[in-house]
A and B are shown apart, each in its own frame.
Chain A
């Protein structure tokens, strides 16, 4: 028994010595005292970016994040290897969306979690929301690049080919800059964006806008296509059956429907092709998909709920309607749909 006891003590001592050696050579170099550091949060999905300059006596980034936990809405998740940040500024990453907050220190990728990063005077710590695919995909570059953007619609005969010089990083960012002139309408889901309309044309049920990069089929969605110097980016209307779209009159009116609800972080936009004459009929037609809630009054129907968010009377909320950017003066029952019209409901308070 004594022999075992000595063996246990000996192993314990050896482990302690080796751990100390590890911490000496590989452990973070802690700086004591007050430090001025910068913490940046970048979230392109919500547009909520924040830069915080902090004076702290904390030793590691984890200490700093604890200090700022409430202000920055930091959400930690504990793993065997330590704490990781999985939520910032009210946004929580999910495995389903395949995203994470990527950490860099002074522009260099961090090799460890926040507990292993010592704070140093003047250092910049950056958390940027990324998709798992970003890990291995070519890094979009921020320098200026000249490229070609083409939009081809053989059905309407409309086209668009322009050489652009841009600092944007992805095809999605670039399309945002030409959203107005190219009539781009996106359909956004949690993790990706798709094109649901281009140059006032909404693809039919058997059509879609196909993306080609330098003549090759794109392998990723808009938000994951990096822009490179000299690239040729083509958005071409195609049919799912592989046949070429033939010129024909588009059926119905092409409209754009938008919903904005700042508190619920909804910025929804969809393009639609409809034969309905007025907005009320169209809302009824899409009642289930858009979770439309209508209240009938003597003067007509009023929209009180969209996409699961209801206007709360006690908070004096209402859905404000604009048509092509102008305030509507009537309810949806009296709003006539026009080809190319933009109909937007935005939650406001009185």
Chain B
């Protein structure tokens, strides 16, 4: 990997961490999935997967280790890969907004499936059902953020990429 790529990944990871911390006080609104989609569109799968890996590890250093960290190591790459696979078919911000919204909606289900591996199906079902209100808000906020910010942010990030 070239030094320039390493630097790029480092900056992207830092921006994810900073973005998450900045919005941590606002419940159910997160910018991580938004940025990961943008990064996948602009920088490609490989760099974004590395970014997600570093970001999740940083989370662990900040918040401590828990089963949830293992879930994040799987869930963020899932979003990145889905974005990369659907990119040829998504022609506008509406498509990405639907993708992001669905991801938010299914976030709890993905986590519940993961938690079921450790605590059983019954726990997983309860976990998912109890989290549905949060998933609805998560999905809705993801949709809105992506719809409004996709174009301007993608343009800005592309400009930065071209200049560097």
Asked whether A and B interact, the reply is yes
Residue of A nearest to B101 (CB): A11
Could you tell me the distance between the alpha carbons of A72 and B87 in the complex, rounded to whole angstroms? 57
Chain A residues within an 8 Å CB radius of B143: 7-8, 11
Interchain CB contact (< 8 A) of A4 among B134, B140, B148? B148
A8 to B148, CA, bound (A): 9
Is the pair A15, B137 in contact by a Cβ cutoff of 8 Å?
yes
Is B133 an interface position by the 8 A CB rule?
Answer: yes
Could you tell me how many residues of chain B have their Cβ less than 8 Å away from some Cβ of chain A?
19
Closest CB in chain A relative to B134 CB, distance in Å: 7
Query: What string of 1s and 0s marks CB contacts (under 8 Å) between A183-215 and chain B?
Result: 000000000000000000000000000000000
Contact B126 A111 (CB under 8 A): yes
Which of B97, B133, B148 has the most chain A CB atoms inside 10 A of its CB? B133
Give the docked Cα–Cα distance between A15 and B104 (Å). Answer: 12
Contact call A81/B131, Cβ cutoff below 8 A? yes
In the bound complex, what is the Cα–Cα distance between A26 and B139 (angstroms)?
19
B155: CB under 8 A from chain A? no
Q: Write the A92-132 contact mask toward B (1 if CB under 8 angstroms, else 0).
A: 00000000000000000001100000000000000000000
Partner of B136, one of A8, A15, A111: A15
Chain B's nearest CB lies how many Å from the CB of A113? Answer: 9
Question: Considering residues A8, A15, A22, which has the most beta carbons from chain B within 10 angstroms of its beta carbon?
Answer: A15
Chain B 121-139, CB within 8 Å of chain A: the 1/0 string?
0000010011111101101
Q: Given the complex, which residues of A lie within 8 Å of B129, measured CB to CB?
A: 26
Tell me whether B126 and A22 are in contact (CB under 8 A): no
Q: With an 8 A cutoff between CB atoms, is B43 at the interface?
A: no
How many of chain A's residues touch chain B, expressed as a range? Answer: 10 to 19
Residues of B within 8 A of A111 (CB): 126, 130
Contact (Cβ within 8 A) A112 B147? no
* B144 interface hit (Cβ, 8 Å): yes
Distance in Å from the Cβ of A136 to the closest Cβ of chain B? 10
**B residues near A22, Cβ cutoff 8 Å:** 132-133, 136
Contact indicator B130/A15 (Cβ below 8 Å) = no
Residues of A1-57 contacting chain B, CB below 8 A: 4, 7-8, 11-12, 14-15, 18-19, 22, 26
Contact between A8 and B144 (Cβ–Cβ < 8 Å)?
A: yes
By beta carbon, the residue of chain A nearest B132 is A22
Closest residue of chain B to A13 (Cβ to Cβ) is B140
Complex CA distance for A11 and B129, rounded to whole angstroms:
21
Chain A nearest CB, measured from B93 CB (Å): 8
Interface residues of A (CB under 8 A from B): 4, 7-8, 11-12, 14-15, 18-19, 22, 26, 80-81, 111-112
14 contacts between A and B (CB under 8 A): A7-B94, A8-B144, A8-B147, A11-B101, A11-B143, A15-B136, A15-B139, A19-B133, A19-B136, A22-B132, A22-B133, A80-B27, A81-B131, A111-B126
- Beyond the given A8-B147, A11-B144, could you list 16 further A-B residue pairs with CB under 8 A, ordered by the A residue number? A4-B147, A4-B148, A7-B94, A11-B101, A11-B143, A12-B140, A12-B144, A14-B140, A15-B140, A19-B133, A19-B136, A19-B137, A22-B133, A26-B132, A81-B134, A111-B130
Residues of B within 8 A of A (CB): 27, 94, 97, 101, 126, 129-134, 136-137, 139-140, 143-144, 147-148
